[in-house]
Amino acid sequence: MAKQPELDDFRVPYFDGGKKNSKFSLDAFDPAAKPFSTGSKDSDRVRLSAIGAELETLQECLHAQQKRRVLLVLQGMDTSGKDGTIRAVFHDVDPLGLRIVPFKAPTPVEVAHDFLWRVHAQAPAAGELTIFNRSHYEDLLVPTVLGELDAQAFEQRCRHIREFEEMLADSCTTIIKCMLHISKDEQRTRLQARIDDPTKHWKFDLADLDARKQWDAYQSAYRDALAATSTEYAPWYVIPADSKTHRNVMVAELLLRALEALKLEYPPPKESLKGIKVE
């Protein structure tokens, strides 16, 4: 009998202090795999809806406690589905309890600061569930591919990221990082669909095709970045994402498990309110 897949099978091995994490290769993960799919799109949607309801309750509890902070980092190539994941997974979660932070190309003011400056400013507060739509990892990946970051500077940024994330974790922050892993073929299909639909042109820029031309360089940079920054306090997961419904279910399952592990409880009733009659 085939082994049931475990979420941990898709976790990038923790950084072990070596310069490279030689146990890890992105090629070992099939972007078209659907290990957490229920088998049909319809029942995936039913499952997602059930998880959504659980997430809503847990998120309210997180908010009520005002202690823990939760940070979900979403990374992936263009069209890998970062926006779509947020839409699908958080459809039923109270918008008051979510904060979604999109990181775009840095502004001149942001560039004038250290690379973690704009990111730290957006770190989750107590009781908050924050989603980074792209993140500080862009500042590792993009300059690497553009040849602006040599190996030593890359290692240094990775170390600073590990230390920054450890500080967040030590400050009651649960961090989950997902790389939405699509195939080059699937990206072609999705990009072409955007080009062929004039009503979608506003989402698209010719420059988007430049990153595609650097596909292998990006995959390699992702591999090195994930290997150097997957830690017990801020693990990376590779999410097979050619199937959108599978991608959504898997990210939702990961988040659900992480929130359940916090054993969140509502604060106890306040004695001071007992028996009070409002006049």
Q: Max CA-CA distance within the chain?
A: 69
Residues 6+ apart with CB under 8 A from 57: none
Query: Does 86 contact a second copy by CB under 8 A?
Result: yes
Selected range binding a second copy among 91-99, 143-151, 170-178, 221-229, rule: CB under 8 A = 91-99
User: Of the candidates 89, 111, 113, which has an alpha carbon nearest to the alpha carbon of residue 100?
Assistant: 89
Query: Does 120 contact a second copy by CB under 8 A?
Result: no
Query: Does 13 contact a second copy by CB under 8 A?
Result: no
Count residues contacting a second copy (CB under 8 A)? 37
Applying CB under 8 A, which of residues 18, 39, 95, 108 lies at the interface with a second copy?
95
For the chain, how are helix, strand and coil distributed in percent, rounded to 5?
Answer: 50, 15, 35
The tokens for 97 are: 């309890």
Query: Does 100 contact a second copy by CB under 8 A?
Result: yes
Identity of the residue, 3 or 277, whose beta carbon is nearer to a second copy in the bound complex: 277
Identity of the residue, 17 or 198, whose beta carbon is nearer to a second copy in the bound complex: 198
Whats the size of the chain, residue-wise? Answer: 279
Selected range binding a second copy among 15-23, 141-149, 158-166, 201-209, rule: CB under 8 A = 201-209
Query: How far, in Å, are 4, 49, 151 from residue 264 at the CA level?
Result: 28, 21, 42
Query: Does 237 contact a second copy by CB under 8 A?
Result: no
Query: Does 121 contact a second copy by CB under 8 A?
Result: no
Q: Map residues 140-169 to x or -, x wherever contact with a second copy holds by CB under 8 A.
A: ------------------------------
Is 76 in contact with 181 (CB distance < 8 Å)?
Answer: yes
Identity of the residue, 159 or 201, whose beta carbon is nearer to a second copy in the bound complex: 201
User: Over the range 119-136, which residues count as b (16 or more CB within 10 Å of their CB) and which as e?
Assistant: beeebbeebbbbbbbbbb
Helix 215-229 and helix 138-145, axial crossing angle in degrees, nearest 10: 140
Query: Does 103 contact a second copy by CB under 8 A?
Result: no
Applying CB under 8 A, which of residues 14, 24, 90, 222 lies at the interface with a second copy?
90
CB burial of residue 234 (10 Å; 0-12, 13-18, 19+): buried
Query: Does 64 contact a second copy by CB under 8 A?
Result: yes
Query: Does 269 contact a second copy by CB under 8 A?
Result: yes
CA gyration radius for the chain?
A: 20
Residues that bind a second copy (CB under 8 A): 64-65, 83, 86-87, 90, 94-96, 98, 100, 102, 133, 188, 191-192, 195, 198-199, 201-204, 206, 209, 212, 266-270, 272-273, 276-279
